[in-house]
A and B are shown apart, each in its own frame.
Chain A
Protein backbone atom coordinates (compact mmCIF):
# COMPACT_ATOMS: atom_id res chain seq x y z
CA UNK A 1 0.00 0.00 0.00
CA UNK A 2 1.33 3.40 -0.98
CA UNK A 3 1.35 6.02 1.73
CA UNK A 4 0.24 9.60 1.28
CA UNK A 5 1.87 12.34 3.38
CA UNK A 6 -0.74 14.14 5.45
CA UNK A 7 -0.94 17.02 7.88
CA UNK A 8 -3.95 17.59 10.12
CA UNK A 9 -5.25 20.92 11.33
CA UNK A 10 -7.12 20.19 14.55
CA UNK A 11 -8.99 22.33 17.05
CA UNK A 12 -9.48 19.30 19.32
CA UNK A 13 -5.87 18.25 19.94
CA UNK A 14 -6.58 15.87 22.80
CA UNK A 15 -9.28 14.10 20.82
CA UNK A 16 -7.14 13.98 17.65
CA UNK A 17 -4.11 12.68 19.58
CA UNK A 18 -6.02 9.49 20.32
CA UNK A 19 -5.67 8.57 16.65
CA UNK A 20 -1.97 9.53 16.67
CA UNK A 21 -1.88 11.64 13.50
CA UNK A 22 1.49 11.67 11.71
CA UNK A 23 1.62 15.47 11.67
CA UNK A 24 -0.82 17.90 13.24
CA UNK A 25 -1.17 21.61 13.93
CA UNK A 26 -3.29 22.94 16.78
CA UNK A 27 -4.04 26.64 16.31
CA UNK A 28 -4.41 27.39 20.00
CA UNK A 29 -7.79 28.59 21.19
CA UNK A 30 -9.60 28.29 17.84
CA UNK A 31 -13.13 27.01 18.31
CA UNK A 32 -14.67 24.01 16.61
CA UNK A 33 -15.78 25.08 13.14
CA UNK A 34 -12.88 27.54 12.83
CA UNK A 35 -10.00 25.25 11.86
CA UNK A 36 -8.39 27.95 9.71
CA UNK A 37 -9.64 30.97 11.66
CA UNK A 38 -12.73 33.15 11.48
CA UNK A 39 -14.70 33.99 8.31
CA UNK A 40 -13.00 36.53 6.10
CA UNK A 41 -9.70 36.52 8.02
CA UNK A 42 -7.80 35.56 4.89
CA UNK A 43 -4.34 36.59 6.08
CA UNK A 44 -4.77 34.49 9.23
CA UNK A 45 -6.20 31.57 7.24
CA UNK A 46 -3.20 31.72 4.94
CA UNK A 47 -0.75 31.77 7.81
CA UNK A 48 -2.41 28.76 9.45
CA UNK A 49 -2.31 26.83 6.18
CA UNK A 50 1.31 27.83 5.54
CA UNK A 51 2.24 26.67 9.05
CA UNK A 52 0.39 23.38 8.59
CA UNK A 53 1.98 22.65 5.22
CA UNK A 54 5.40 23.56 6.59
CA UNK A 55 5.08 20.71 9.08
CA UNK A 56 5.42 18.38 6.09
CA UNK A 57 9.00 19.53 5.61
CA UNK A 58 10.10 19.47 9.23
CA UNK A 59 11.03 16.79 11.71
CA UNK A 60 7.89 16.49 13.77
CA UNK A 61 6.98 14.00 16.47
CA UNK A 62 4.42 11.69 14.88
CA UNK A 63 1.36 11.35 17.04
CA UNK A 64 1.66 14.77 18.63
CA UNK A 65 0.14 18.07 17.58
CA UNK A 66 2.27 21.19 17.31
CA UNK A 67 0.62 24.13 19.08
CA UNK A 68 0.93 27.59 17.54
CA UNK A 69 -0.65 30.75 18.94
CA UNK A 70 -2.33 33.28 16.65
CA UNK A 71 -3.25 36.33 18.77
CA UNK A 72 -5.04 37.94 15.81
CA UNK A 73 -7.74 35.27 16.12
CA UNK A 74 -9.15 37.12 19.14
CA UNK A 75 -11.29 35.44 21.77
CA UNK A 76 -9.89 32.05 22.77
CA UNK A 77 -11.83 28.82 23.32
CA UNK A 78 -11.05 25.76 25.43
CA UNK A 79 -10.74 22.62 23.32
CA UNK A 80 -12.88 19.59 24.13
CA UNK A 81 -11.31 17.11 26.56
CA UNK A 82 -11.20 13.36 26.35
CA UNK A 83 -13.28 11.72 29.06
CA UNK A 84 -11.20 9.28 31.07
CA UNK A 85 -12.65 5.84 31.48
CA UNK A 86 -12.87 4.16 34.84
Chain B
Protein backbone atom coordinates (compact mmCIF):
# COMPACT_ATOMS: atom_id res chain seq x y z
CA UNK B 1 0.00 0.00 0.00
CA UNK B 2 1.39 3.37 -1.01
CA UNK B 3 2.02 5.83 1.81
CA UNK B 4 3.03 8.68 -0.45
CA UNK B 5 1.34 12.01 -0.04
CA UNK B 6 -1.39 12.52 -2.60
CA UNK B 7 -0.72 16.23 -2.66
CA UNK B 8 1.31 17.55 -5.56
CA UNK B 9 5.03 18.15 -5.07
CA UNK B 10 5.28 21.86 -4.16
CA UNK B 11 8.21 22.49 -6.47
CA UNK B 12 9.19 26.13 -6.97
CA UNK B 13 11.95 26.73 -9.52
CA UNK B 14 15.11 28.47 -8.38
CA UNK B 15 16.48 30.62 -11.16
CA UNK B 16 19.06 32.66 -9.29
CA UNK B 17 22.74 32.36 -8.50
CA UNK B 18 23.45 31.13 -4.98
CA UNK B 19 26.15 33.77 -4.59
CA UNK B 20 23.47 36.43 -4.99
CA UNK B 21 20.78 34.70 -2.95
CA UNK B 22 19.54 35.19 0.57
CA UNK B 23 18.90 32.01 2.54
CA UNK B 24 16.60 31.29 5.49
CA UNK B 25 16.54 28.28 7.80
CA UNK B 26 13.30 26.63 8.88
CA UNK B 27 13.76 23.78 11.31
CA UNK B 28 11.38 21.22 12.75
CA UNK B 29 14.01 20.43 15.35
CA UNK B 30 12.38 22.39 18.17
CA UNK B 31 14.97 25.21 18.11
CA UNK B 32 14.24 28.49 19.87
CA UNK B 33 15.94 31.29 21.79
CA UNK B 34 16.64 30.61 25.44
CA UNK B 35 14.45 33.56 26.41
CA UNK B 36 11.53 32.42 24.25
CA UNK B 37 8.87 30.11 25.60
CA UNK B 38 9.79 26.48 25.01
CA UNK B 39 7.55 24.17 23.00
CA UNK B 40 4.82 22.34 24.86
CA UNK B 41 6.10 18.81 25.21
CA UNK B 42 3.46 17.97 27.81
CA UNK B 43 0.66 17.96 25.26
CA UNK B 44 0.39 14.55 23.62
CA UNK B 45 -1.08 16.21 20.53
CA UNK B 46 2.10 18.20 20.02
CA UNK B 47 2.65 21.94 19.67
CA UNK B 48 1.52 23.88 16.59
CA UNK B 49 3.35 27.10 17.42
CA UNK B 50 6.62 28.39 16.00
CA UNK B 51 9.35 30.79 17.05
CA UNK B 52 11.00 33.54 15.03
CA UNK B 53 14.77 33.60 15.19
CA UNK B 54 16.62 36.81 14.22
CA UNK B 55 19.50 36.74 11.73
CA UNK B 56 22.04 38.19 14.15
CA UNK B 57 21.34 35.63 16.86
CA UNK B 58 24.25 34.46 18.99
CA UNK B 59 24.06 30.71 18.45
CA UNK B 60 24.89 30.11 22.11
CA UNK B 61 21.51 31.67 22.89
CA UNK B 62 19.66 28.94 21.01
CA UNK B 63 18.35 25.72 22.54
CA UNK B 64 16.06 22.81 21.71
CA UNK B 65 12.77 21.76 23.28
CA UNK B 66 11.68 18.51 21.66
CA UNK B 67 11.01 15.12 23.19
CA UNK B 68 11.02 12.95 20.09
CA UNK B 69 14.73 12.86 19.34
CA UNK B 70 18.01 12.93 21.23
CA UNK B 71 19.14 16.55 20.99
CA UNK B 72 22.18 16.31 23.23
CA UNK B 73 24.44 17.04 20.23
CA UNK B 74 22.38 20.13 19.36
CA UNK B 75 22.86 21.25 22.96
CA UNK B 76 26.58 21.08 22.35
CA UNK B 77 26.52 22.70 18.88
CA UNK B 78 23.18 23.98 17.61
CA UNK B 79 24.55 23.97 14.06
CA UNK B 80 23.94 20.21 13.79
CA UNK B 81 20.23 21.02 13.31
CA UNK B 82 20.18 24.81 12.86
CA UNK B 83 23.24 25.77 10.80
CA UNK B 84 23.24 29.52 11.38
CA UNK B 85 26.99 29.82 12.00
CA UNK B 86 27.63 27.58 9.00
CA UNK B 87 25.45 29.83 6.87
CA UNK B 88 27.46 32.84 8.06
CA UNK B 89 30.67 31.16 6.96
CA UNK B 90 29.20 30.39 3.55
CA UNK B 91 28.20 34.04 3.28
CA UNK B 92 31.70 35.23 4.17
CA UNK B 93 33.12 32.86 1.56
CA UNK B 94 30.74 34.27 -1.05
CA UNK B 95 28.98 30.94 -1.59
CA UNK B 96 25.65 32.57 -0.74
CA UNK B 97 24.68 36.21 -1.00
CA UNK B 98 23.25 36.73 2.43
CA UNK B 99 21.34 35.57 5.46
CA UNK B 100 17.61 36.15 5.62
CA UNK B 101 16.08 38.59 8.08
CA UNK B 102 14.02 35.91 9.78
CA UNK B 103 14.40 32.18 10.53
CA UNK B 104 11.88 29.81 12.05
CA UNK B 105 11.93 27.02 14.61
CA UNK B 106 9.03 24.72 15.37
CA UNK B 107 8.57 21.30 16.94
CA UNK B 108 8.12 18.78 14.20
CA UNK B 109 5.90 16.48 16.13
CA UNK B 110 2.15 16.70 16.08
CA UNK B 111 -0.88 14.48 15.95
CA UNK B 112 -2.76 17.42 14.42
CA UNK B 113 -1.53 16.98 10.88
CA UNK B 114 -4.31 18.91 9.18
CA UNK B 115 -3.83 21.89 11.49
CA UNK B 116 -0.08 21.73 10.92
CA UNK B 117 -0.42 21.51 7.15
CA UNK B 118 -3.19 24.04 6.70
CA UNK B 119 -2.38 26.37 9.58
CA UNK B 120 1.17 26.40 10.91
CA UNK B 121 2.89 25.56 7.62
CA UNK B 122 1.10 28.41 5.83
CA UNK B 123 1.83 30.84 8.64
CA UNK B 124 5.52 29.92 8.47
CA UNK B 125 5.50 30.30 4.67
CA UNK B 126 3.97 33.75 5.08
CA UNK B 127 6.59 34.72 7.68
CA UNK B 128 9.31 33.71 5.26
CA UNK B 129 7.64 35.30 2.25
CA UNK B 130 6.85 38.65 3.87
CA UNK B 131 9.35 38.98 6.64
CA UNK B 132 12.57 37.28 5.74
CA UNK B 133 13.29 38.40 2.17
CA UNK B 134 14.65 34.92 1.56
CA UNK B 135 15.26 33.69 -1.96
CA UNK B 136 15.35 30.08 -0.77
CA UNK B 137 14.91 28.08 2.41
CA UNK B 138 16.90 25.24 3.95
CA UNK B 139 14.64 22.88 5.87
CA UNK B 140 15.98 20.66 8.62
CA UNK B 141 14.42 18.18 10.99
CA UNK B 142 15.73 16.75 14.20
Contact = CB atoms under 8 A, between A and B. Distances in A.
B126 to A, nearest CB: 10
A36 B137 contact: no
Contacts, number: 137
Contacts of B89: 42, 46
A22 B7 CA distance: 12
Contacts of A3: 10-12
A12 B64 CA distance: 19
> Which of B89, B129, B140 has the most CB atoms of chain A within a 10 A radius of its CB?
B140
Given A33-B70, A39-B73, A39-B76, A4 B125 contact: yes
Contacts of A37: 80
Interface of B: 1, 3-5, 7, 9-14, 17-18, 23, 26, 29, 69-74, 76-77, 79-81, 83, 85-87, 89-90, 95-96, 125, 128-129, 134-142
